[in-house]
Amino acid sequence: MIVEQYVHTLIPQDVQFCPKPEQVSRFVDGLTKLGAAPLDAKLKILKPSGRVRSFTDPSTGEIRTIPGKEIVALDSAANLGGIISTLDQYVLAMEGHGPPTLPAFPLYVSGAPFADTYAFNVHCCVEAGPVSMSDLGDEQGGNEVPVFGESCRKQSGTGLFRHPITSALIEVANASCARFWIEFEFGKWLLPKIDDSLNILNPAITGLANECFGLVFAQGFHHF
């Protein structure tokens, strides 16, 4: 499996959980205080614009549509509430670079430790209904699960992931679907070291998420 862009995820074990604005704000501020936030981070919210963009799928020739997004820049997380309190779908993005003082985990490129700067973004994502958190790439292997981001038919269960290098199947309990999740996105071609578990995120970061949102998170990933 070829992974160009690796995105690590924190997935709440409550499928229907949707955070309050003050919880999201507390998490964003907490990341900064931990030294785990992207450096020189810019805050913005992506929310539905009500418009759609049409394009021709190059592989099938079919006309497809993508919902348009409106981007709202923020000066600080304190301004979140007035924008997201009435939304049932949005992404709060912290976009900057790394490594921060407290990295999420060591990163590697082609198996060698990576010590240079890299793009680093954190996203708090909310959807109107539960969507799939699983990512099997092109290797379903008889497992019929919706691809990452698609609506879930069965909303609870085990999340399924393919190891980004070996393609071995990794199963994560209570991680199949979610309305809300957190993403840690790094520069292209950068990967963490993964054995047989995805519980690799720095414990201080997972502890912060547990405290701010008041529930337990599983760990997964998706790629593109």
- Count up the domains in the chain and report the number: 1
> Average pLDDT of the chain?
91
User: Taking every pair of C-alpha atoms in the chain, what is the biggest distance, in angstroms?
Assistant: 49
86-139 residue pLDDT tens: 899 999 999 999 999 999 999 999 999 999 999 999 999 999 999 999 999 876
Q: Give the residue numbers spanning the domain of 87.
A: 6-213
> Residue 221: inside a domain, yes or no?
no
Is residue 94 within 8 A of residue 122, CB to CB? The reply is yes
Question: Rounded to whole angstroms, how far apart are CA atoms 105 and 94?
Answer: 18
In a domain, 220, yes or no: no
In tens, the pLDDT along 159-196 reads 999 999 999 999 999 999 999 999 999 999 999 999 99
Question: Is the pLDDT assigned to residue 212 strictly greater than 70?
Answer: yes
Cα 56 versus chain centre, distance: 27
Q: Is the peptide bond before 146 cis (omega within 30 degrees of 0)?
A: no
pLDDT band of residue 67 (cuts 50, 70, 90) is low
Coil, helix or strand at residue 207: helix
Measured CA to CA, the distance from residue 88 to residue 79 in angstroms comes to 17
